[in-house]
């Protein structure tokens, strides 16, 4: 099983995404990224639900983004299908405001093995005919190696994901050009 969900992809970071480790405490951290998208808020919102088309396959357990799904229903699942009938529940859908916001709860990747809980929120704001998407991930609990180690790694991975999302919504391809 491939387990590199949070390897730091520095070479893939896009200058079009504004990223930041906002806060680190011994108990957790907050990272945030935002990006301007050359598409409507409705199109950006629809693109988020197609997570298997833009999420970097290097940051999955199966190595294939097509195995990811995001069900935007109450208690819905950000899940991944694994070979031989396996699966991973990455996060639970806890709030959806169509065209404006999606909120998920859970610990991504190797953070699942720690005693933490996280809240990932995507907020979409219209900007004329375009949209600004902000991604905020707050993690708290017990992290054996310390939150300070994980914050920049998570920030780098989520920055990469948002750059791929932007490219997917604008061009149909998740690979930033």
- The pLDDT confidence band at residue 4, using thresholds 50, 70 and 90, is very low
How much is the pLDDT for 7? 39
Q: How far is CA 162 from the centre of its chain?
A: 7
Supply the mean pLDDT for the chain.
90
Q: Provide the token pair at 72.
A: 């935007």
Q: Where are the domains of the chain?
A: 17-171
In the CATH hierarchy, which fold is given to the domain comprising 17-171?
A: Alpha-D-Glucose-1,6-Bisphosphate; Chain A, domain 4 (3.30.530)
How much is the pLDDT for 18? 67
Contact in structure between 44 and 135 (CB atoms under 8 Å)? no
Average pLDDT for 130-157: 96
Contact in structure between 139 and 147 (CB atoms under 8 Å)? yes
pLDDT tens per residue across span 126-142:
999 999 999 999 999 99
Give the CA distances from residue 160 to residues 25, 86, 101, 108, 150, in Å, rounded to whole numbers and listed in that order. Answer: 24, 26, 20, 15, 16
- The pLDDT confidence band at residue 19, using thresholds 50, 70 and 90, is confident
Q: What percent of the chain has pLDDT over 70?
A: 89
Helix or strand run (H / E) with residue 101: strand 101-105
Helix or strand run (H / E) with residue 40: none
Which of 152, 125, 175 lies closest to 19 in space, CA to CA? Answer: 152
How much is the pLDDT for 29? 97
pLDDT tens per residue across span 59-114:
999 999 999 999 999 999 999 999 999 999 999 999 999 999 999 999 999 999 99
């Amino acid at each position: 099983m491939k387990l590199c969900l949070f390897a730091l992809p520095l070479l893939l970071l896009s200058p079009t995404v504004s990223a930041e480790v906002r806060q680190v405490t011994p108990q957790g951290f907050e990272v945030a990224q935002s990006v301007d998208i050359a598409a409507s808020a409705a199109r950006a919102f629809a693109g988020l639900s197609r997570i298997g088309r833009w999420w970097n396959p290097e940051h999955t357990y199966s190595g294939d983004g097509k195995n990811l799904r995001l069900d935007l229903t109450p208690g819905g699942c950000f899940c991944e299908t694994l070979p031989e009938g396996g699966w991973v529940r990455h996060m639970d859908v806890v709030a959806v405001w169509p065209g404006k916001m999606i909120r998920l709860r859970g610990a991504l990747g190797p953070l699942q093995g720690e005693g933490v809980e996280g809240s990932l929120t995507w907020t979409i704001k219209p900007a004329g005919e375009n949209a600004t998407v902000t991604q905020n991930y707050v993690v708290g609990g017990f992290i054996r190696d310390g939150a300070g180690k994980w914050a920049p790694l998570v920030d780098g991975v989520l920055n990469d994901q948002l750059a791929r999302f932007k490219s997917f919504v604008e061009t149909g391809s998740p690979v930033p050009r």
